[in-house]
């Protein structure tokens, strides 16, 4: 399963870099304007639908991962929480799967 673990690691890296490039563009143009950033998540129906989908998915993932990690006695599983809040599901999910393959 080393190939699968490597895949999860690569996806965690990609899942960090791509969103932060886009977030970086926003903050470079708008400054560190968090209220505007949050407002733009729901600027129209398409953005709002996508944002709601991801936010709901991450809540479900965090609940499932917490239960799953406790059942499996996984070390360092809690890293998914800072990953979720600093990047998002694109890092938290592959990171969790990477840690789960240890």
79: which DSSP letter? G
pLDDT at 34: 95
- Tens of pLDDT along 1-11? 689 999 999 99
Q: Is 45 exposed, middle or buried (0-12, 13-18, 19+ CB in 10 A)?
A: exposed
Evaluated on CA atoms 48, 54, 60, 63, the torsion sign reads negative
pLDDT of residue 2: 87
Tens of pLDDT, residue by residue over 18-41, are 999 999 999 999 999 999 999 999
Report the distance separating Cα 36 and Cα 49, nearest Å. Answer: 18
Please state the domain extents for the chain.
2-100
* Angstrom distance (rounded) from CA 23 to CA 32: 10
Query: What is the predicted pLDDT for the residue at 1?
Result: 63
Percent of the chain with pLDDT over 70: 99
Q: Which residues contact 94 (CB under 8 A, 6 or more apart)?
A: 8, 9, 11, 12, 15
pLDDT for position 102 = 84
């Amino acid at each position: 399963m080393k190939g699968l673990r490597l895949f999860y690691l690569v996806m965690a890296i990609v899942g960090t870099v791509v969103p932060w490039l886009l977030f970086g563009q926003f903050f470079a143009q708008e400054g560190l304007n968090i209220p505007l950033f949050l407002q733009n998540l729901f600027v129209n129906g398409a953005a709002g639908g996508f944002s709601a989908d991801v936010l709901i998915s991450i809540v479900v993932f965090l609940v499932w991962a917490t239960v799953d990690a406790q059942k499996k006695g996984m070390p360092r599983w809690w890293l998914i929480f800072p990953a979720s809040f600093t990047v998002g599901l694109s890092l938290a999910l592959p990171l969790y799967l990477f840690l789960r393959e240890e």
